[in-house]
Amino acid sequence: MRKLWIIAVTGFLFVGIAMGQTAGQCNRQCLEGIVNKYLDAMVAHDVSRAPFAANARYTENAKDISLAKPTEGLWAASTSLGNYKLYVADPQQGQVAFVGLVNEGGKPAILSMRLRIENQKITEIESIVIRDMSEANLWTMKTVPVEFTRALGPNERVSRQELIRISKGYFEAIVKSNSKLVSWSDECYRLENGMWTAGAKLPPELAVNEPKTPPASPKPGAKISPAFNRGACTAGIDSGVFALIESIDPRRTPVVDEERGVTWGVYVFNHPGVKEVKMPDGSIKPAAYFAGQPNSMPISELFKIKSGKIRDIMAIGVINKYRSDSGWKQRPNE
């Protein structure tokens, strides 16, 4: 009987692992598989095709939308999926994030989202969707940056807590105009809603897709804001241009892919719409953007952190009402 019991248990575990389920949790394969089921159900406008929990909550751009009979947002308007698919798996916390392209009536939109999985059921969906995108500006999203998909070597890893600390330190550096508060890779670059906004150069798998025709020259006398001049990742931060940001709060980092050194979080940028800012040297200069336009932006940001240094930054953010939040409460250890 004992041998039969061992054989039965072993067989059960083998089947579970083969289905992408490790003992007590949903592993990377399992989490990514549930994301794919969710996306297929979304473009089919059929909630029955995804494993939702009875109490599943869905937000899009910080707004609650009912899944009982969706009449707005991606669940009502999406028509197909693009080929760009980036996953951030956190088996330890039963969460997974995804960044990809979705078509709405032939128009591309960027989707960044988080799913919480409990007992193989989706209990939370937090999504940020950027619409009205020009395909000409999405050349950086033809290929997923390789580093986001690579496992770190043993000497390149830091703890989960350190990954969260470094991710949040990036925003502390912004509000204090001090890039020295975190460590930076020499290969650092930043993408914002698909646009290349910082970093002297892009990884080769992205650079190869850069349009051969240079962008139109700015008007005579016009200057590019230091926030978006494609200089080193530290340049815009140290320039003081981000002094127009009143605060970045809350700062949530719910998804941590320890194996790959990638984090996904939502951080709310609050802009009071000031028209002038005080620079580090004490001078007063016109605000570089959002002058007279108070707003708050829930921004999902992904960081690739290698050997304790920020290497890849991807931001997907939407403009909402001033002093609004992300729609989700911060949990301990985020």
How far is Cα 119 from Cα 12, in angstroms, rounded to an integer? 17
Whether residue 327 is contained in a domain is answered as no
Whether residue 123 is contained in a domain is answered as yes
Looking at 105, 133, 161, which one is the last position of a domain? 133
* Judgement on whether residues 112 and 245 belong to the same structural domain of the protein: no
* Judgement on whether residues 275 and 184 belong to the same structural domain of the protein: yes
* Judgement on whether residues 150 and 29 belong to the same structural domain of the protein: no
CB atoms closer than 10 angstroms to residue 26? 23
* Judgement on whether residues 310 and 260 belong to the same structural domain of the protein: yes
* Judgement on whether residues 95 and 146 belong to the same structural domain of the protein: no
* Judgement on whether residues 163 and 280 belong to the same structural domain of the protein: yes
* Judgement on whether residues 109 and 149 belong to the same structural domain of the protein: no
**Which pTM value belongs to this model?**
0.89
- Partners of residue 257 on adjacent β-strands: 262
Whether residue 323 is contained in a domain is answered as no
Give residue 176's domain range: 139-214+222-317
How far is Cα 68 from Cα 18, in angstroms, rounded to an integer? 32
* Judgement on whether residues 171 and 236 belong to the same structural domain of the protein: yes
* Judgement on whether residues 88 and 200 belong to the same structural domain of the protein: no
**Which burial class, exposed, middle or buried, applies to 54 when counting CB atoms under 10 A from its CB (0-12, 13-18, 19+)?**
exposed
Overall domain count for the chain: 2
Looking at 81, 102, 133, which one is the last position of a domain? 133
The kind and range of the H/E element at 262 are strand 262-271
Whether residue 112 is contained in a domain is answered as yes
- Partners of residue 102 on adjacent β-strands: 81, 109
How far is Cα 242 from Cα 274, in angstroms, rounded to an integer? 11
Whether residue 331 is contained in a domain is answered as no
CATH code, 275: 3.10.450.50
Collapsing DSSP to helix, strand or coil, 211 comes out as coil
Whether residue 332 is contained in a domain is answered as no
* Judgement on whether residues 88 and 194 belong to the same structural domain of the protein: no
* Judgement on whether residues 253 and 179 belong to the same structural domain of the protein: yes
Whether residue 326 is contained in a domain is answered as no
* Judgement on whether residues 89 and 165 belong to the same structural domain of the protein: no
Looking at 115, 133, 151, which one is the last position of a domain? 133
Whether residue 322 is contained in a domain is answered as no
Comparing CA positions, the residue from 8, 70, 90, 79 lying closest to residue 40 is 79
**Which burial class, exposed, middle or buried, applies to 330 when counting CB atoms under 10 A from its CB (0-12, 13-18, 19+)?**
middle
- Tens-binned pLDDT, residue by residue, of the chain (334 aa): 444 444 343 443 344 433 444 444 899 999 999 999 999 999 999 999 999 999 999 999 999 999 998 899 999 999 999 999 999 999 999 999 999 999 998 899 999 999 999 999 999 999 999 998 888 889 999 999 999 999 999 999 999 999 999 999 999 999 999 999 999 999 999 999 999 999 999 999 999 999 987 555 445 444 445 555 678 999 999 999 999 999 999 999 999 999 999 999 999 999 999 999 999 899 999 999 999 999 999 999 999 999 999 999 999 999 999 999 999 999 999 9
First to last CA, the chain: 47
